[in-house]
Amino acid sequence: ISFTGSVGVGRGIAAACVARGAKVQLEMGGKNPQIVLDDADLKVAVELAVQSAFYSTGQRCTASSRLIVTAGIHDRFVEAMAVRMASIKVGHALKTGTDIGPVVSQAQLEQDLRYIEIGRGEGAELIAGGGLVSCDTEGYFLAPTLFSNSSAEMRISREEIFGPVANVVRVADYEAALAMANDTEFGLSAGIATTSLKYANHFKRHAQAGMVMVNLPTAGVDYHVPFGGRKGSSYGPREQGRYAAEFYTTVKTSYIG
């Protein structure tokens, strides 16, 4: 069984497969962190954060909805994000010039709006978005939404929203950023924006995620390499690449005398 979906359904499938001895491969949720360090190129950091959090309407398991930003660049990053988000075009997904299409369904739109209200209720500051967008065609169009002044304990920092909603959390330094990035039940994708080879190499080794991006969006993956995560994000062999073929292969050893 190869399954892609929610953690709850995936765990149920895993239990059933184990009970009857079936091979199982699970790709489930994510709450992917994007770290931005003081030494990062601000323009690069903003662009990859926008693509990670909002492109494909945030409806990717590899989307980054946790933007963990160190104190020295935090205010400039939030300001630059608000400016960049103002230029994002929401509309019909097949129309020329559109950056972000509609949310997939009424139910998903309601979930996104519910989490926006949860963020407000938890005391996070709404920087941009938060409401519906009027377009020429009917659809569930939601403005990309960014919160700031949030904390790691808030639900918007811990639960997968699966929509164009992200929040910025301020931390003191790289060590605090790494600890916060790993403080999650998920471990699919993780990114860092930095010009430091030291921090980039340390992050690649110590980020508790199956896929790590340096100065690239967390949601940009290639089909020819293994895809999968750790902890509650994945179970079993990786998808894609040679690992996908291995999952569907039964090994037989023959001896001839």
**Which residues are catalytically annotated?**
27, 61
Using an 8 Å Cβ cutoff, are 132 and 88 in contact? no
User: Strands 25-27, 2-4: parallel, antiparallel or unpaired by DSSP?
Assistant: parallel
**Cα angle 89, 93, 96; round to 5:** 65
Q: Is 230 exposed, middle or buried (0-12, 13-18, 19+ CB in 10 A)?
A: middle
DSSP the chain: -EEES-HHHHHHHHHHHHHHT---EEE----EEEEE-TTS-HHHHHHHHHHHHHGGGG-STT-EEEEEEEHHHHHHHHHHHHHHHTTPPBS-TTSTT-SB--BS-HHHHHHHHHHHHHHHHHT-EEEE--SB---SS-SB-B--EEEES--TTSHHHHS---SSEEEEEEESSHHHHHHHHH-SS--SEEEEE-S-HHHHHHHHHH--SSEEEESS-TT---TTS-B--SGGGEESSPBSHHHHHHHT---------
| Cα–Cα dist 10/29, whole Å | 10
